[in-house]
Every structure is written in structure tokens, then in C-alpha cells.
Amino acid sequence: MDLKQFISSGVLEQYVLGLLSEKEAGEVMNMMQLHPEVSDYVHKLQTSLDTYSRLYEVRPPDGLKDQVMAGIRKEIENRSDQGQKGQPVPIQPPLAKYSRLRKLAVAAAFILLCSIGLNIYLSNQIQVARAKVGTLSTQSEQLKAENQRIHNQLDQKGKALTLLYNPDIRRVTMNGVKQHTDAKAMIYWSANKQTAFLANADLPATPAGKVYQLWAIVDGKPVDLGLFTPKDQVNLPIELKKIQPGSVQAFAITLENQGGSPTPTMDQMYVMGSTSS
């Protein structure tokens, strides 16, 4: 019978399912040792069955592990007791023949060399694995951070959308004043609820010790709405301080000292937008 016929005869399937007699199983094992194709095929069948049985996995009841481990500990104790009491003292081999000793020494040296080689190999493997773990955990951290960032972004976009869909909300564009024509910002504003949100701010970086301050002009007077630095950009839209009752005429942003100012510094105004436009 050629190899192909042997493999497709069905006897290997019977073998992995334990359906062969001991003698027949022995023959299969022989064939496996002689022919990699056969052992390869058998291993695939074996893997199929193993995977199949894993479909039936059931989590054992809580506490069963403790019982199992108690049994194992008992076995370990038994074994070490036996080792101490029962084992006879090893008999010294007769020193009759030097040649035998020499053979032993050569064998020992050989085994030692093999062991050193294996150690080096295994230690390399560990190094490789460790490096991989390192890279993977860095990657995982990066992904986490990225995920968090996208999450935040999505949150902010969600807030912005809610504001946009709110019929009560008006948009007020603040354009750059003379010295800062590039600057621009946008306020979402609800006159009924006296709330305002800074939705967008395209402002130059602040010098050290400085901060932007938002203002509403209510009944002709500036009212503080809070502070803003360009690094808050990612958190937009930001809800501003509640606006006091009255007629809101305009919104503006000025550059002030850290901590803000009770009144706006007029020559440091960057953007302004009227509510009537």
C-alpha cells in the first residue's frame, strides 16, 4: 500500500479516536515515525478533536480548584516523605575499570555542553519574548491614549452638535479687530437661558503670564465670562459663565494678565462680535 492510500484508508481516523487494537495502533505509531506526512496528518486530526472538545468547555464551580489543589499538595507531601525515608542509599559503582569512568566523564562533559547550549538558546528566547512584551505594552499604552483622545473629541463634537440643533441657540461670530485681523472666534448663545459657549477660537498663542478673557457687553457694560488659553482648544465647546439679565449687545475677547482682570484692557482686544449682526 502506498503512503497516500495508507493516509486515506481511514485507519488514522480510527487511531485518533482510539478505535484500533493495541497492535494496530503500534503499527500506526511506527508509520508516524517513519513518515512525517503520516504524523502530520495524525496531528491535524488530533488538533481537530482537541478543538472540538474545547467547544464543550464548562467553567468548574467555584471552590473546586481549592479542593483539587489540596489533593495535589497532599501528593507532593507524600512524595517528599517517601523521598526522605524510603529511598535506599545509592550504591557506589565499583571502581574496577578506569575506562568506564572515562566514558562517564566524557558523557558528562557532553551533557554539560548540551545543557549550556540549551541554556543560551532558552535565555535568548526569553530575551526576545521580553522585548516583544515591552513593545506590545508600549503599543497598548499608545492605543489607550489615542482611544482616550478620540473619545474626548467625540464627546466635544457631540456637545457641539447638541448646541447646533438647539433652535434657541444663536451663533455670534467674533472677527479680529484692526491689529489682529487673522483672529476669529465663535460664540453659541442662548438669550433666553443666559448661557453662552465658546465654540471655536482661532487665536494666536499667548505670551507667558498672559491669558485670554471673554466678555459680554450687557446694557453697554463689559461683564466677565471667564478665561481661555489656546491649550483649552481641545475642550471646545466650553460653557462660559452665566450672563446676568439684561440686553446682550456684543461678545469680545481681550488678552489679560494671568488670573484675568475686572475690566477689559481695551487696547488688548483681539476679537469682537455684535449680537445684532
3-state SS, one letter per residue, for 131-159: HHHHHHHHHHHHHHHHHHHHHHHHHHHHH
Q: Which of positions 185-244 make contact with other proteins (CB under 8 A)?
A: none
Q: Output the smallest distance, CB 2 to other proteins, in A.
A: 18
Put the strands of the sheet holding 210-218 in their side by side order. Answer: 221-228, 210-218, 248-257, 269-274, 170-176, 184-190, 195-202, 238-239
Q: Output the smallest distance, CB 27 to other proteins, in A.
A: 15
Q: Output the smallest distance, CB 111 to other proteins, in A.
A: 16
> Using the rule CB under 8 A, which residue among 36, 61, 94, 167 binds other proteins?
61
Q: Which of positions 18-57 make contact with other proteins (CB under 8 A)?
A: 18-19, 29, 43-57
For the stretch 151-157, contacts whose Cβ atoms lie closer than 8 Å and that sit 24 or more positions apart, written own/partner, are 152/234, 152/235, 153/234, 156/234, 156/235, 156/236, 156/237
Rg of the Cα atoms in the chain: 40
> Using the rule CB under 8 A, which residue among 4, 23, 79, 178 binds other proteins?
79
Using CB under 8 A as the binding criterion, the count of chain residues that bind other proteins stands at: 41
State which amino acid sits at residue 24.
E
> Using the rule CB under 8 A, which residue among 24, 75, 81, 146 binds other proteins?
75
Cβ proximity to other proteins, 2 vs 62, nearer residue: 62
Determine, following the binding rule CB under 8 A, whether residue 65 of this chain makes contact with other proteins.
yes
Determine, following the binding rule CB under 8 A, whether residue 69 of this chain makes contact with other proteins.
yes
Q: Output the smallest distance, CB 135 to other proteins, in A.
A: 14
Q: Output the smallest distance, CB 90 to other proteins, in A.
A: 19
Cβ neighbours around 192 below 10 Å, total: 7
Separation of alpha carbons 102 and 108, rounded Å: 10
Q: Output the smallest distance, CB 235 to other proteins, in A.
A: 39
Q: Which of positions 115-174 make contact with other proteins (CB under 8 A)?
A: 122, 125, 129
Cβ proximity to other proteins, 24 vs 219, nearer residue: 24
Separation of alpha carbons 29 and 19, rounded Å: 14
Separation of alpha carbons 202 and 130, rounded Å: 46
Separation of alpha carbons 190 and 168, rounded Å: 6
- Compute the Cα dihedral for 14, 16, 22, 24 and give only its sign: positive
Stretch that binds other proteins, among 71-79, 181-189, 241-249, 268-276 (CB under 8 A): 71-79
Q: Are 173 and 271 in contact (CB under 8 A)?
A: no
Site residues (CB under 8 A) for other proteins?
A: 10, 13-14, 16-19, 29, 43-61, 64-65, 67-69, 71-73, 75-76, 79, 122, 125, 129
